[in-house]
Structure 1
Amino acid sequence: MYRPVILAPLDHYLPGFKAGGALRSITNLVDRLSDEFDFRIICADRDLGDAAPYPDIAGRRWVHVGPAQVYYTAPQERTLVSLSRILREVPHHLLYLNSFFSPRFTILPLLARRLGLIPRRPTILAPRGEFSPGALALKRRKKQIHLTASKTTGLLTAVAWQASTEQESADIRSALGPCAADVRVAADLSSPLGPRPPPHGPRAPGAPLRVLFLGRISPMKNLDYALRVLASVRVPVVFSVVGPPEDAAYRADCERLAARLPAHVAVDWRGPVDPSHVARVMAAHDLFFLPTRGENFGHVVAEALGAGTPVLLSDTTPWRGLAAAGVGDDLPLADPSAFAAAIERAAAATPGEAAARRTRVFAHARERQRTSADVEANRMLFTAALGGRQAAAALT
């Protein structure tokens, strides 16, 4: 059966997992649409922050990873000349870029495209929330320089944009102006849920509330804010921090904040966790706390809900109306006392109330996934860019 070839350079892919949401977005997309599209992925030969390449993974050649074919690049291959050669040697119908600010796997392919070093194919760029106000506020000057250069040098000519929500579509248009003439909304795809959530051990009466932060330890995820909130909480809490330290200096700042917490708040630094264990880790906690500065989707939120764990989020994600649904809270970062109050309410719940809430949370996750039209939106994202199957076939 004919399948258009989608060539997707991105920083990290399987078996990596530390890069978080963008990696999960691509793996879920490949799993859902590989019967219709032939995905070829070019990525780094190591996980986020790792000095050594993946063991037992052959680099510098194409290998099958699930339904996709993957080329793992060594550091010396991540130059304009070498990456252009790899891209040029893969016959493809569509170039699919992830992360606007990736220097190796977005900026170099766009530059190669602009200079005519690779065939000019329909191109889709998914910025994965990088144009949200919270994201642009971090390293603002550096990002503004790159935005200006990209807009004025023609790198973004004839690029289509993928937004996960209407809000992200507005963020893209606001940041890029006329360069964002073609923005299409196709939400990230979450992992399928099982028939029931993982087992949860109820919290014993009087025991500390088990609160979880799971994500990259970086300013964007706002762990320092969570620690400051916990400093004002008046109930016993065990706060588990799970995730890779993307920014060592930021991690050190967070450790200093944790050391100053009151005695009734304990912090358990666990490091990264394999994706196969995430559901079990989620289910072992009473509340998932992520005061992120912004998310275009938030796979980790979907995973928490799918584990039956209530969530406490900032109002900078697409996961809104949580209190009305009885599954959590989405609160403004300008009101840290509201976050503290939500934690104290969760601690005050009786075992029966907590169990009923977990049942409600999982049912909400199942209903949201069952009624989703996101797979079709992603399918149409690609077919529209290709101009139909006949047009794509003509490129081979």
Structure 2
Amino acid sequence: MITKPKLLIFIEYFLPGFKSGGPVQSVKNLIIILQPYYSIFVVTRDRDFLDTQPYDGIAPDTWLCKDGYQIMYCSPAKLTMRSIYRLVQEPSFDFIYANSLFGQFSIKLLSMAWITGKRFIIAPRGELHKGALRLKYYKKYPFLQLIKRVFKSQIKWHATDENELKAIRSFFPKSQIGLVPVVLAPDTPEQLTQRTVALKQKGKARFIFVSRITPKKGLDFLANVLKLQTAEGIELDIYGPIDDLNYWQICQKEFSLVADSCTVRYKGVAEHSQISRVLADYDYFILPTRGENFGHAIFEAFSVGLPVLISDQTQWRNLEQQQAGWDIPLTDRHWLDTIKKAMEIDTETYSVMSQAARTVADTYMNSESFAEKYRLLFS
């Protein structure tokens, strides 16, 4: 019997959690793709994003068997340098993968790299894009310099698109073998069920925002745009965990100044199992993000058949030509004009756009050799 290589994955939050968004689905689908080739072990926290209590009925700090892989849910007491050091020193792990650059697991792993001598595969998940780096840069810069000067020879980078590959090589141009080792392997999203009916009333628009509420996602920008909007018939529902309470309070203040003709509601957090049904109730997905690595929520909107209004800071480009929505610069005028255009779409045109949105998702899923590219990453 051939023994499979052992892959150890660190991710801050994982199933059954769902509040941290796309990375959970990425790693879930990554495991499914790689299980035929690797023995997989996952280390994560014992609670969901922003939760203060652990999951019910899950034993912490021990290896559990789940769906053909091993997983450890770490309690806060287990999230120490010593505990993580003991985990990575297991001689049996062939590959160690961290699903973030600035997550606590990654910071601890890299901080002890000079002691362990281990090599790590790091997926920055958009954290090196310019828009993301600008947020709390004063905290990130010293750590990045430490990596540049001390640890870069112990890292292989996982880029999920060409923009991220360029960002990594821009920040870490050289290693012990010349160019920094970067493997391009596409993100692994979940394709949702396409809705069966796509109807829209001309002169009105129902928008849905689904994302963590942080400055990076641009909800404040959207509030300022809607303050300038005078047309009637706009509805905006906001879904997502409140990651930054101070920022959310700023957004609430701005939304309170929006005209009465525009209805804005905060709807809480939608469980991932319900997201397909939730998305299907709206006309457009909207996200004026300041930078995305992949944009799982955007992809899920496409897969349901929901056209999108997003910034031009993602990999999803030329959407108007594809009739799947709009990717537009973060200026008030561009967004005001596009919202007006979206409102005037009639049912016939909207039905075409809905199918085009689904085609974007289908084309992505059909064009990628996921298993082949990820085996190259873990080799």
C-alpha contact 1:190 1:299 (8 A) present in aligned 2: yes
1:370 to 357, 366, 371: 366
Q: How does 1:237-276 map to 2 (within 5 A)?
A: 237-276=234-273
Q: 1:112 Cα deviation (Å)?
A: 2.8
Q: Which residue of 2 aligns with 1:191?
A: 190
SS for the counterpart of 1:53 is: coil
Query: Residue in 2 aligned with 1:387?
Result: none
2:106 partner amino acid: T
Question: How far off its partner does 1:204 sit?
Answer: 4.5
Equivalent residue runs for 1:134-173 within 5 Å? 134-152=131-149, 154-173=150-169
Out of 26-35 and 373-382, give the one that drifted further: 373-382
Aligned-pair RMSD on alpha carbons? 1.7
Contact 1:227-1:257 at 8 Å conserved across structures: yes
Which range moved further: 287-296 or 29-38?
A: 29-38
State the distance in 1 between where 2:201 and 2:180 align.
Answer: 55
Contact 2:191 2:300 in 1 (8 A): no
Q: Is the 8 A contact 1:201 1:284 kept in 2?
A: no
Q: Which residue of 1 aligns with 2:353?
A: 357
Aligned with 2:171: secondary structure? helix
The 1:370–1:272 alpha-carbon spacing in structure 2 relative to 1, beyond 3 Å, is: same
Q: Could you tell me how far 1:330 is from its partner in structure 2?
A: 0.8
Aligned to 1:96: 97
Tell me the residue number matched to 1:39.
Answer: 40
Aligned to 2:107: 107
Distance in 2 between residues matched to 1:373 and 1:235, nearest whole Å: 46
SS of 2:360 mapped into structure 1 = helix
**Cα shift readout 1:257-294 (whole Å, capped 9, x = no counterpart):** 11111111111101111111111111111011111111
Asked if structure 2 preserves the Cα contact closer than 8 Å seen for 1:31 and 1:67, the reply is no
Whether the 8 Å CA contact 2:320–2:326 is kept in 1: the answer is: yes
In 2, the alpha carbon distance for the partners of 1:260 and 1:275 equals: 31
- The reply on whether 1:123 has 2:123 as its aligned counterpart is no
Equivalent residue runs for 1:266-345 within 5 Å:
266-333=263-330, 335-345=331-341
Report the alpha carbon displacement of residue 367 of structure 1 after superposing the two structures with TM.
Answer: 2.4
Report the residue type matching 2:333 in the other structure.
Answer: S
Deviates further, 239-248 or 227-236: 227-236
The reply on whether 1:217 has 2:213 as its aligned counterpart is yes
Give the letter for the 1:363 counterpart: T
Partner of 1:66: 67
Report the alpha carbon displacement of residue 185 of structure 1 after superposing the two structures with TM: 1.0
- Offset from partner CA, 1:278-316 (integer Å, 9 cap, x none): 111111110111111111111111100001000111111
Aligned residue type for 1:49: L
Q: 1:322 to 1:204 in 2, by over 3 A?
A: closer
1:219, 1:90 → 2: CA distance?
41
- Give the 3 Å change call, closer, same or farther, for CA 121–3 of structure 1 in structure 2: farther
Greater CA drift, 273-282 or 360-369:
360-369
The one-letter code of the counterpart of 2:114 is: R
Alignment of 1:201-212 (within 5 A): 202-204=199-201, 208-212=204-208
Cα deviation, 1:49-74, whole Å, max 9, x if unaligned, reads 10001111110111123333110111
Query: CA 1:279 to 1:115, structure 2 compared with 1: closer, same or farther past 3 Å?
Result: same
Amino acid at match of 2:180: A
**Structure 1 residues 162-171 or 368-377, which shifts more?**
368-377
Q: Determine the C-alpha separation between the residues in 2 that align with 1:190 and 1:90.
A: 32
What's the CA shift for 1:187? 1.4
Show structure 1 runs of 5+ residues with no match: 384-396
Aligned residue for 2:86?
85
Counterparts of 2:364 and 2:12, CA distance in 1: 30
Letter of the aligned partner of 1:58 in structure 2? Answer: A
How far is the alpha carbon of 1:165 from its aligned partner? 1.2
Q: Number of residue pairs matched?
A: 374
Partner Cα separation in structure 2 for residue 315 and residue 201 of structure 1: 25
Aligned in 2, Cα 1:272/1:361: closer, same or farther, shift over 3 Å?
same
Cα deviations by residue, 1:356-382 (Å, 9 ceiling, x for unpaired): 221222133222311223442222211
The TM-score with structure 1 as length reference comes to 0.90
CA deviation after TM superposition for structure 1 residue 221, in Å: 0.9
Task: Give the letter for the 2:304 counterpart.
Answer: A
